[in-house]
Amino acid sequence: MRRREVITLLVGAAAMWPRGARAQQAKMPTIGFLGAGSGSDSVWKDWTAAFVQRLRELGWVEGRTVVIEYRWGEGRAERYADLAAEFVALKVDVIVTSGSAAVAVKGATSAIPIVFATANEPIGSGLVASLARPGGNATRMC
């Protein structure tokens, strides 16, 4: 091979290598965590720590095998719809929340699974069809 052909081959390979590496990287699953009620991350610290620990026990390590996007309602229910819309725009794989925020999330998406820890009147609010068979995209944590 002539020198020019070798240089062309090396430059071409170097130019294509980053594209190939990026194409093979899979998107990590993303959890949208919407902290409802009053407070922010400091109020939810113990709960989120337990959540992350349980995920780790199940083989999901934050930053390695799963991404968690945290958002906080800070006691303002009017924020829930905007935060839910943000999760939809981010294309998270599942949304974890509780309380009245679950209803706002349900209003934002019918495709992304919603897991809620607690909710007042989940059947009456239209969040689920029944507790035994929730149907739709929402279910409660056990």
Give the mean model confidence (pLDDT) for residues 22-49.
Answer: 78
Q: Measured between alpha carbons, how far is 110 from 48 in angstroms, rounded to an integer? A: 25
pLDDT given at position 3: 44
State the architecture of 27-140 in CATH terms: 3-Layer(aba) Sandwich (3.40)
Amino acid at 56: R
pLDDT surpassing 80 at residue 120 = no
Query: pLDDT-based confidence at 109, cuts 50/70/90?
Result: very high
Percent of the chain with pLDDT over 90: 38
Secondary structure (3-state) at 115: strand
- The pLDDT tens digits for 83-107 are 999 999 999 999 998 878 888 899 8
The highest-confidence range among 5-9, 30-34, 45-49, 106-110, by mean pLDDT, is 30-34
Burial class of residue 102 (count of CB atoms within 10 Å of its CB; 0-12, 13-18, 19+): buried
pLDDT at 66: 96
- Pick 54 or 4 by higher pLDDT: 54
Rounded to whole angstroms, the maximal C-alpha distance in the chain is: 77
37-60 pLDDT, tens digit per residue, is 666 667 778 888 999 999 999 999
What φ, ψ does residue 67 adopt, rounded to 5°?
A: -110, 135
Q: What is the pLDDT of residue 103?
A: 85
Q: What integer pLDDT is reported at residue 19 of this predicted model?
A: 52
